Structure 1
Amino acid sequence: MGGGDLSEYLSEIKRSHVVDEIKYTGTSTEILTVIENKSIITTLQWEEHHQETIDISKTNLLDFTVDVMGLKTLILNKKIKQLTFTGDLSAISDLKAEHPRKGAFLEIVLLSKTITKLPNFDLPELFSLQLQLFNIDIKEVCQYYPALKHISFWGYPGYLYNVKALKHLFSLSSIFIGDLFGYQPEDFPNPEELSSVTSIVMESIPKDVSIHIKKQFKHLYLDITKLRNEKWLEENLDNPFRMWDGRNGIPPTHFKKAFNAYKNLNSVIDSNPSPKELKVHFKAFIQVFNKLNSSKSPLETMEMDEMVVAYLELCKKAQLDTKEMQALLEKEMHL
């Protein structure tokens, strides 16, 4: 709910016997009062709340997604299973999270291109941690969240530091690492040091590391794909379409054409042409994807979304008007 009559919206929730999930954009804390009195509601996504303190301790929420902009204190209930942070995360290190179990049975999801240091929420019993950051330091993870059983770490891509410290997560059961680099085979702990681990899933990681892990951990459930060598890293670390390489349903030619279109437009922008010339090249960029979409292997929604993100980032780099360029995309793109 992002507008309209709030009281009517809340009344509808009160009357409903089937609503168990709410998406709310607004500043009224009355939404929490309603949820406290509706035990069926277990999922809440709250954006633009403008609150310094949010208390969900009297709710039955199991899944809470919250905009952290301006938030200083978050008081959680005992039952919550997943906590996801959104919005401007630059000041998230100042956030104080209170949980009756100190993080036990709780998963935190944190995806950010802006924060440079892992926040410490004082939840030493945290059960599971999902991160997507440019840099992840395992030593910090161990220091703040030593009881973790599950970790899922992604880069944009990014770098993974102090991988050897994984051996200090004594309860660790499952490991997922994707699109993170900067470590060697010898940095990864040996099987004896990861005796509690039962599964390792890795995607888009250094090739030599993957070969080492496959040899050392044959006794575990392993799923290791998209092995990357140095040449691939040099060419693709800044490629927004790098995840197309090896993705199911994406022909290798699609990956190459998308990457070449990106490189070509990037080069044009660096040559400082006139805005009129730039628009011609942006139209050509769009046409590349129109052709891919009309081929025998059309693009799925995920690929189209990734194309739009890359297009808008290039518009920003070229200092073109975002609204005008969005209108151009809508006009030229054949969906």
Structure 2
Amino acid sequence: MSNSTILQMATDSIKGKNLKIVFPEGKDPRILEAAIRHKEDGLLIPIVLGDKGQIQKVADENNLKLGDLQIIDPNYDDNFNLLVEKFVEARKGKATKMDAEYLLKKDNNYYGVMLVKAGLADGMVSGAIGTTGDTIRPALQIIKTVPGISRVSGIMIMIGPNGEQYVFADTAVNITLESQEMAEVAIETAYTAKSFGIDPKVALLSFSTKGSARHDLVDKVSKATKKAHEIDPNVPLDGELQFDAAIDPITAKNKVPKSEVAGHANVFIFPDLQAGNIGYKIAQRLGGYKALGPILQGLNAPVNDLSRGCSAEDVYEIAIITASQAINTAN
């Protein structure tokens, strides 16, 4: 396991708590490997969804020993009728009992989310096979967003070769962000960073630093910075900043000498998904950074999305992060 401070802190926080994390994609060998590892080391209680016969076949083909791993087939689960009732209740007239039965049998992501909603699991990890939308859609419909947050966003925790730790957002969910939405993401990301032991200094990024260029895209980031200050004036943040001004003290001294954040930022808010996704992958592939995530924020209970290129180790680590988020949500 990575020796990152964030991951170690999350690991320490969940020890002995017996938190339950559900994995809807039981037919994926990476999911099974991670779930078995968690079952064996006892950090959390994994729940795997799927047809037991198919899961056993995948395990045999990959030399995995299921042991007493908890496997739930939604078609034969004793809690099915209870979850159907709670589904209809949660959708508030937008779904009939028949709709609920169909979705809970057809889509394990819906079943996993309902286990979380009903308190039968503390969080969910999915996306090794399906898309981000497949993971987020049921969560938005059932678990919903925290009051005051208009949308879910995704972060990457970037861990450098020498132990450097940064947070990038939004790297996973929102293709575009208006100034109000960017401001919300900035504040929510600061809170998330703080929950992982990072003292946040937030930079709202642009191709301009404090008016060095003029464009509507620059204005958006500038306005987002002002709105973020209004949401929570106690969060240290600044914008609009170019990346070099945000991270390098010498450049910051030349460009924005009066900024308390420039040159020392550790939380970076990108103006759109294109920039965020490109940015974290450059750091990962050229800079040798480990990318932990994506980690979703803004939901009432933790549901996290995996990359379809994830490893079993990635699944294992995201489950730890998800369990630690469950503690923070409960508090």
Structure 2 length-normalised TM: 0.30
Structure 1 length-normalised TM: 0.30
Which has a greater percent of strand? 1
Q: Which has the higher contact order (CA 8 A, sep 6+)?
A: 2
